[in-house]
A = this chain, B = another copy of it.
Amino acid sequence: MVGFASLTPPYASSCVGGGERDGIVDWLDEIKWTEDGLVPVIAQDAGDGRVLMFAWMNREALKLTAEQGHAVYWSRSRGRLWHKGEASGHRQIVKEIRLDCDNDVIILQVEQKGGIACHTGRRSCFFQRLEDGRWVTVEPVIRNPDEIYGKG
Q: Scoring A residues 120 to 134 as 1 if CB is less than 8 Å from chain B, else 0, what string do you get?
A: 101001111111111
Interface residues on A, range: 35 or more
User: Within 8 Å CB of A119, what residues of B?
Assistant: 101
Contact B27 A42, beta carbon cutoff 8 Å: no
Contact A54 B27, beta carbon cutoff 8 Å: no
* A interface residues, Cβ below 8 angstroms from B: 4-7, 9, 25, 27, 30, 40, 42, 44, 48-51, 53-54, 66, 96-103, 105, 107, 118-120, 122, 125-135
How far, in angstroms, from A72 to B129 measured CA to CA in the complex?
18
A99: which of B48, B130, B133 is its contact (CB, 8 Å)?
B130
Contact A97 B129, beta carbon cutoff 8 Å: yes
User: Within 8 Å CB of A100, what residues of B?
Assistant: 53-54, 125-126, 128
Contact B40 A51, beta carbon cutoff 8 Å: no
Contact A133 B27, beta carbon cutoff 8 Å: yes
| Distance in Å: Cβ of A48 to nearest Cβ of chain B | 7
* A107 with B5, Cβ < 8 A, contacts A118-B101, A127-B98 known: no
User: Which 9 pairs between the two chains have the least Cβ-Cβ distance?
Assistant: A49-B49, A97-B130, A100-B125, A99-B128, A54-B105, A98-B126, A6-B132, A101-B125, A6-B133
Contact B129 A98, beta carbon cutoff 8 Å: yes
Contact A5 B125, beta carbon cutoff 8 Å: no
* A5 with B131, Cβ < 8 A, contacts A101-B118, A125-B101 known: yes
